[in-house]
Amino acid sequence: MHLTKIIKQSLSQQIVVPSVDISNYLTKTGNWKKDCLQVANIFRKYGLIIIKDPRVNAAQNDKFIDLM
């Protein structure tokens, strides 16, 4: 298979990365230890993670995304 074809196939595939709400971890409520394991497993599988942090408001998030 030609390299350009491999690259095109790789670019056309979308990866859906799970997101994790860290509210339970921050308050040490619910099943926060299981959430920690979930974070570790997502990092292991994807090398990145999407975190929902209740301490960050939407305006701050939008400002950060605009910087990217």
Q: How far is CA 19 from CA 9, 28, 31, in A?
A: 25, 19, 16
Q: Which of 42, 2, 6 is nearest to 21 (CA)?
A: 42
For the chain, how many residues are written?
Answer: 68
Residues 11-67: tens digit of each pLDDT: 667 778 889 999 999 999 999 999 999 999 999 998 888 899 999 998 988 888 888
pLDDT at 17: 84
Q: Which residues contact 68 (CB under 8 A, 6 or more apart)?
A: none
Angle at alpha carbon of residue 31, lines to 48 and 50, rounded to 5°: 20
What is the pLDDT, as a whole number, of residue 15?
Answer: 78
With bands split at pLDDT 50, 70 and 90, how would you rate the model's confidence at 2?
low
